[in-house]
Structure 1
Amino acid sequence: MENDKRTYYVSVQAGSIMENKGDTAFEFEISATEDDVADLQERFDMLSDLDNSSAFRAILPAVPYHQDSALDGYDYTLTDIYRKLYDLGNEETRQTIAGMDAIGEQEPPIT
């Protein structure tokens, strides 16, 4: 039953999605199908890949963050994750994300 929604606990910081509330620390509670969870995990994997590929920026402190197009993909993906969590989240999750101003309008990065 892939369309049955279940409760999951998500940590954006750790990039984790758990079924058991006590497994580890989490920031958000969502109600999602298995397909939703697979999609969200794919986004976390992409975010991790983008983070790793932009690690070299740390040795180039002369390049301001807001002028570094290599990090645009990371920012876009992170915002995309927060939008997905907002859509799947319970009321507390939605209020928290709305209060973070993390899902404002954003254009996809130019590649």
Structure 2
Amino acid sequence: MTKKTYYVSVQAGTVMSHQGDAAYELEIEATASEKARLEMLFGAKMSYDDSSSIRAVLPGIPYHVDDENDKYDAVLQEVYRLLYELGTTETKNHISSMHILSQEETATPSFGDGSVS
């Protein structure tokens, strides 16, 4: 499948084809199915964000008992994993600088010591 350039706003949950359509934070190269997966993750993020807002009006819930917030965090991690995978060099550098993914998830594969036998 052919990859196209998309402009992504994690905050707004948008994936745009045209750079000038709206504000964006990151740039990716993705197939139509990869774009659809990212949009599905943004939908899940929004759903968990909405359902976790109930915590604001129920102060008696202990902080560590918050399944909806845990789900939100997990889907946000998945969003950033996918963005890192599909991202341009600048996008990958930006996500790496945020320290939200483990070093293993952002490591460049090593192909030996570089010597030729």
TM-score, length-normalised on structure 2? 0.81
> How far 1:54 sits from its partner (Å)?
1.2
For residue 37 of structure 2, the aligned residue among 36, 39, 42 is: 39
Paired residue secondary structure (2:43): helix
What is the CA distance between 1:69 and its match in structure 2?
2.7
Q: 1:29 aligns with which of 3, 27, 30?
A: 27
Alpha-carbon distance, 1:61 to partner: 3.5
Aligned residues: 103
Q: Which structure would you say has the larger RCO, counting Cα contacts within 8 Å and 6 or more residues apart?
A: 1
The correspondence of residues 1-111 of structure 1 with structure 2, limited to 5 A, is 3-63=1-61, 65-104=63-102
The percentage of counterpart residues that share the same residue type is: 46
RMSD, aligned α-carbons: 1.6
Unpaired runs of 5+ residues, structure 1, are 106-111
Determine if contact 1:80/1:103 at 8 Å carries over to the other structure: no
In structure 2, distance between residues paired with 1:15 and 1:64:
29
Larger deviation: 66-75 or 84-93? 66-75
Stretches of structure 2 that go unaligned for 5 or more consecutive residues are 104-117
Q: What TM-score, normalized to structure 1?
A: 0.86
CA displacement 1:4-57 (0-9 Å, x = unmatched): 000000000000000100000000000000000000000000111111111101
